[in-house]
Amino acid sequence: MSINEDNIKLIDGGICAVSGVETGGIKEGKYGVAIILSLDSNAQAVFTSNKVVAAPIIHTKKIIKDGKLSAIVANSGNANCFTGEQGIKDCEYIVDHTSKLLNVPKDQIASSSTGVIGRKMPMDIIEPLIDKVSEKLDHSAEASTDAASAIMTTDTHPKECAVEITIDGKPVRIGGICKGSGMIAPNMGTMLAYITTDAIIDSKFIKIALSNSVSKSFNMIVVDGDESTNDTALLMANGKSNVEVVDRDIINKDFQNALDYLCINLAKQMVRDGEGASKFLEVNIKGALSPSDAILASKSVASSMLFKSAIFGEDPNWGRIVSAVGYSGCEMNQDIISISIGNESTFKNPLTDKSVYLVKDGEILAFEETENLKVAEKFMASNDIVVDIDLNLSDGEATAWGCDLTYDYVKINGEYTT
Amino acid sequence: MSINEDNIKLIDGGICAVSGVETGGIKEGKYGVAIILSLDSNAQAVFTSNKVVAAPIIHTKKIIKDGKLSAIVANSGNANCFTGEQGIKDCEYIVDHTSKLLNVPKDQIASSSTGVIGRKMPMDIIEPLIDKVSEKLDHSAEASTDAASAIMTTDTHPKECAVEITIDGKPVRIGGICKGSGMIAPNMGTMLAYITTDAIIDSKFIKIALSNSVSKSFNMIVVDGDESTNDTALLMANGKSNVEVVDRDIINKDFQNALDYLCINLAKQMVRDGEGASKFLEVNIKGALSPSDAILASKSVASSMLFKSAIFGEDPNWGRIVSAVGYSGCEMNQDIISISIGNESTFKNPLTDKSVYLVKDGEILAFEETENLKVAEKFMASNDIVVDIDLNLSDGEATAWGCDLTYDYVKINGEYTT
């Protein structure tokens, strides 16, 4: 899974790098509110597949059906999930109230909540925050960071990214913010990602482009395998670049590629900030019988509590890697598998000294006391670990990202009601 | 999932409680060997579904096809997995050698290994252990405990159980030992369970009876969700009771019930001794659309790293329970679900004060500051936590068992190559 970065320029400004976007955010203690304004945008979203859904998910699913959006209002500190009728009413009140403050139709305002489940929304705290944020919306890079900070829960820092590409000689921008550090699972865990673009793209193709990117990014990160009730990835396109990115029903490749890049960048920021994480893990699979087999295998290794513990312990315990591939459900043959470990992918740069084979075409090169095992131990001591697995069966490939399992993960989730 | 215990008498002696069974075991440092002798037994086994399989699994699958077994030789300290041709040869040597020592045909000797993956078998250590153990086989309760101790890896104590039932006025016994504390997953993780009985039952029905019991016991416990390459549950029946337990192709209900009881007893011992575990968790589901839905939901809650962390933190965080049910894949409706927490199952004893409802028929009774939440906090402080979830849809039910996620789990698996 490699992204062509040739045509992509990383720029500052986060979600506000896109013209016509104004944001603001305030975080006070555990509660925060962010507002994102991008008037008259085409929009679509991808939501949690958890069967328990929060009130704002119900609201946003409904209003986004017609593909038009002008604003998002999001709060942290309370998920407004499993809050019954009162939760629905609270969500509607938040949207109505924001609608009046921003002078935007209420059916063009999406809403999200993140935080603890099964607690009544503290409206006496949230409403004044909405009032204050609505008064200070602007187009600056600081405003993007404020919004990214306002939606944080156990995140330790705000997460933003913006890119510019050139299509037909004209610049097109995509910007995003996101939050999420626990409950990160296959299929998106307590994750909010808001993305804006100035491209011209209608909501039908937004749905396709966003789903493509989400499947390669947010759905490929694992912190703990728990999936949240509130996950949302949302893309708003306001057309201000005057550049069409769909031609005869085909999404421009550079645009899709840039959206993939941005989503992967945000997803990797999330997993790097995984609850308690001290190390970052990339698992590349190639040679799988199919792409879906490659996804199974890569996620299984990135999710294995035993291998996550081994990363924390800086132990190149490749037995736990093959075991996780073995129970993943993907087709495999242990007699032809190759496994390497390093700080760089062997698949991309096979000739560097930044990785080492532990198993090559089924032959074990890392019995105890071997040189390869010692080299692998050195790589395990660094902060970024890359595991490459070639199943040598066919051409299915995938990449998943994860982090180590640490004392701090247990501490954060054992001692704190999130 | 309740077992009728009326006709079941717990007895001493472990696997040696069954007449005609002799065992022995020695553990020296990280390595150990156990031998179980039950001459001319009918036998069958259930194995790991991991696609990576260890050499002894390959051997035992082959020789058990004809349903006859006289002995088992098992070692701890090395899994003899991913050890190539040499691993197969080492396994064959162990079986041949044991065959000569015991004077038993080599195609009637099953073999198991548990321990680290991808390391050559230390035959210079294992062979002398086999020699010593073969000289001291006997029928005592101590011999059962020795065998149970010899197969331990990260287990903190040996695990044994024996029961007696009366069929047609005559006693029938079933005894077992097992090991396993990490890599315990849905579908059996680094688990070895050896069961003997003096019942008369042919190998075809052993397979059915054992599969029935495994599905309710070893397959319903979760420590970390990792599944091992070496799992084996094996039942040998030597017929010494002179009691037939299959009549016109139907397995005697009392026998099946007793085997269920024994397997659940052993499985619960495993999860109580889960790596780093400080608390024991039982998750009962009823009212599911189907039994398989109930299994999905119960395992999902028992596996949730967030809820496991909450148990460690003694936090009645029921939001994490509903969330885990929601992403389990089972059908559910959050508006009619009931959830209780306690030290005893509400399903069995609805009228005691040993449990409390957090959510009843969709209504939330445990907002912050409520009496129910305070009572739940008290229950969470004890060592045995029972969570009951009534999905109120149909009559599917299941029970899963698990443990908390603790600092010690991370320590054991981060600091030690297992």
CA distance A49 to A264: 20
**B306 vs A182: CB contact, 8 Å cut-off?**
yes
pLDDT mean over B234-247: 96
**B327 vs A363: CB contact, 8 Å cut-off?**
no
- Of the residues B190, B196, B399, B406, which is catalytic? B190
Residues of B in contact with A222 (CB under 8 A): none
CA distance B339 to B321: 9
Write out the two tokens for B10. Answer: 């717990």
| A144/chain B closest Cα distance in angstroms | 30
Compute the Cα dihedral for A270, A278, B227, A342 and give only its sign.
Answer: positive
Residue B242: per-residue pLDDT: 96
**B362 vs A319: CB contact, 8 Å cut-off?**
no
Residue B137 pLDDT greater than 90, yes or no: yes
Residue B109 pLDDT greater than 80, yes or no: yes
**B183 vs A319: CB contact, 8 Å cut-off?**
no
B370 has a chain A CB within 8 A of its CB: no
Helix (H, G, I), strand (E, B) or coil at B278: coil
Q: What is the pTM of this model?
A: 0.83
| A227/chain B closest Cα distance in angstroms | 6
Residues of A in contact with B51 (CB under 8 A): 325-327, 331-332, 334
Could you tell me what percentage of chain B is helix, strand and coil, using 3-state DSSP and rounding each to the nearest 5?
35, 30, 35
Burial class (CB in 10 A: 0-12, 13-18, 19+), B356: buried
Residue A189: per-residue pLDDT: 43
**A117 vs B322: CB contact, 8 Å cut-off?**
yes
B183 has a chain A CB within 8 A of its CB: yes
pLDDT mean over A201-227: 86
Residue matched to tokens 């409520």:
B370
CA distance A273 to A267: 10
Write out the two tokens for B242. Answer: 């002179």
Interface confidence (ipTM) of the complex: 0.73
Residue matched to tokens 């035992």:
B60
Residue A232 pLDDT greater than 70, yes or no: yes
Residue B34: per-residue pLDDT: 98
Most A CBs within 10 Å: which of B413, B415, B418, as the mutation test of the A interface?
Answer: B413
Report whether A226 contacts A267 (CB < 8 A). no
Which residues, numbered 50 to 109 in chain A, qualify as contacts with chain B under a Cβ-Cβ cut-off of 8 Å? 50-53, 79, 81-84
Residue B105 pLDDT greater than 90, yes or no: yes
Residue A249: per-residue pLDDT: 94
CA distance B189 to B232: 9
**A326 vs B50: CB contact, 8 Å cut-off?**
yes
Nearest to A410 among B185, B363, B410 (CB): B410
pLDDT mean over B399-404: 91
Write out the two tokens for A251. Answer: 């999404």
Residues of A in contact with B409 (CB under 8 A): 305, 309, 410
Q: Mean pLDDT across chain A, nearest whole number?
A: 90
Residue B15 confidence class, pLDDT cut points 50, 70, 90: very high
Quick one: which H or E segment has residue B251?
A: strand B250-251
Reported as a single tens digit per residue, the pLDDT across A303-358 is: 888 888 889 889 888 888 998 998 888 999 999 999 999 998 888 877 778 899 99
B403 has a chain A CB within 8 A of its CB: no
**A227 vs B323: CB contact, 8 Å cut-off?**
yes
| A327/chain B closest Cα distance in angstroms | 4
Residues of B in contact with A407 (CB under 8 A): 407, 410-411
A402 has a chain B CB within 8 A of its CB: no
Residue of A336, A348, A342 lying closest to A392 (CA atoms): A336
CA distance A7 to A252: 13
Residues of A in contact with B83 (CB under 8 A): 364
Rounded to 5 degrees, what are φ and ψ at A412? -60, -45
Quick one: which H or E segment has residue B43?
A: strand B31-47
| B126/chain A closest Cα distance in angstroms | 18
CA distance A131 to B334: 32
Residue matched to tokens 């029938």:
B172
Residues 6+ apart with CB under 8 A from B98: B35, B71, B73, B104, B106, B109, B130, B134
For residue B416, which amino acid is it? Y
Reported as a single tens digit per residue, the pLDDT across B327-337 is: 888 999 989 99
Residues of A in contact with B228 (CB under 8 A): 323
Residue B184 confidence class, pLDDT cut points 50, 70, 90: very low
Residue A200 DSSP one-character state: B
Write out the two tokens for A170. Answer: 């004209």
CA distance B19 to B37: 11
Q: How far is CA A1 from CA A217, A303, A401, in A?
A: 10, 19, 12
CB pairs under 8 A between A and B: 200
B169 has a chain A CB within 8 A of its CB: no
pLDDT mean over B218-245: 84
**A305 vs B310: CB contact, 8 Å cut-off?**
no
Report the b/e string of B292-310 with b at 16+ CB within 10 A. Answer: ebbbbbbbbbbbbbbbbbb
B415 has a chain A CB within 8 A of its CB: yes
Nearest to B364 among A79, A118, A225 (CB): A118
**B51 vs A332: CB contact, 8 Å cut-off?**
yes
Residue A54 pLDDT greater than 70, yes or no: yes
Reported as a single tens digit per residue, the pLDDT across B27-52 is: 999 999 999 999 999 999 998 778 88
Write out the two tokens for A342. Answer: 């390093």
Residue B66 confidence class, pLDDT cut points 50, 70, 90: very high
Residues 6+ apart with CB under 8 A from B251: B201, B205, B208, B209, B245
Residue A182: per-residue pLDDT: 56
Reported as a single tens digit per residue, the pLDDT across A1-49 is: 567 888 899 999 999 999 999 999 999 999 999 999 999 999 999 987 7
Burial class (CB in 10 A: 0-12, 13-18, 19+), B86: middle
Residue A87 pLDDT greater than 60, yes or no: yes
CA distance B218 to B185: 9
Residues 6+ apart with CB under 8 A from A50: A227, A228, A229, A231, B323, B326, B327
HSE-up (13 A, CA, CB side) for residue A334: 24
Reported as a single tens digit per residue, the pLDDT across B339-363 is: 999 998 888 877 778 899 999 999 9
**A52 vs B322: CB contact, 8 Å cut-off?**
yes
Residue B142 pLDDT greater than 60, yes or no: yes
Residues of A in contact with B117 (CB under 8 A): 319-320, 322-323
- Helix A84-102 vs helix A123-134: angle between axes, to the nearest 10 degrees? 20
Share above pLDDT 70 across residues of chain B, in percent, rounded to a whole number: 94
Residue B135 pLDDT greater than 70, yes or no: yes
Torsion of CA B313, B317, B323, B329, to 10 degrees: 70
Residues of B in contact with A228 (CB under 8 A): 323
Which residues, numbered 265 to 304 in chain A, qualify as contacts with chain B under a Cβ-Cβ cut-off of 8 Å? 303-304
Residues of B in contact with A305 (CB under 8 A): 224-226, 305, 409, 413
Which of A297-306, B45-54, B203-212 bottoms out in mean pLDDT, i.e. has the lowest? B45-54
Quick one: which H or E segment has residue A301?
A: helix A291-303
Residue A183 pLDDT greater than 70, yes or no: no
A144 has a chain B CB within 8 A of its CB: no
